[in-house]
Every structure is written in structure tokens, then in C-alpha cells.
Amino acid sequence: MESDLDQGIEKNRDAMLVQHRLNNDVRYDVNHGVATLKGTVRSQSQRAAVEKIAAQVPNVKQVVNELEVKNQKATSSR
């Protein structure tokens, strides 16, 4: 039953990513209603927007955002 729900989430997510023209840059995995976002985006604001879109997909219980921002330099606390 849970895998059918995950498949439904994936179809809804695909449609939302295409609608927002993000389907080429963002990948995701769905497992038991938890959507893990992967890939690269152009800005921190786009990263946040993709997370918000993912959270709005029906039946998504949690979003794990592992998206990276292109050309963003890694920072260190040292």
C-alpha cells in the first residue's frame, strides 16, 4: 500500500517540477511519504522554492532538502 502512495507522490511531484521548469535539475526519491530532493539549483531562493513545492505535493509527510546551489562556495567555521 505504501509503495502505491509513493508512486502517486512521484507522479504529482513530476507534474509540479515540469510546471515550474525544474525537472531537469532536481531529482528526488520518495520512501514512505518522505521526499528527498537532490540535484543543483541556481540560487538559495530557488532551493527554498523547490522545497516548498515538494511540501505541497499531496501525501508528502516530510521533505529532506539535499539540493546544492550552483557556484556556491563551501564555507568553513574555522
For the question of whether the overall pTM of this predicted structure is more than 0.75, the answer is no
The per-residue pLDDT for 13 is 65
**Cell matching residue 54:** 515538494
Task: Say yes or no: domain 2-69 is CATH 3.40.366.10.
Answer: no
Give me the torsion for CA of 10, 15, 18, 20, rounded to 10°.
-110
Average confidence (pLDDT) over 7-22: 66
Confidence of residue 58 (pLDDT cuts 50, 70, 90): confident
pLDDT at 39 over 80: yes
In terms of pLDDT, which residue wins out, 66 or 17? 66
C-alpha 69/C-alpha 10 separation (Å) is 23
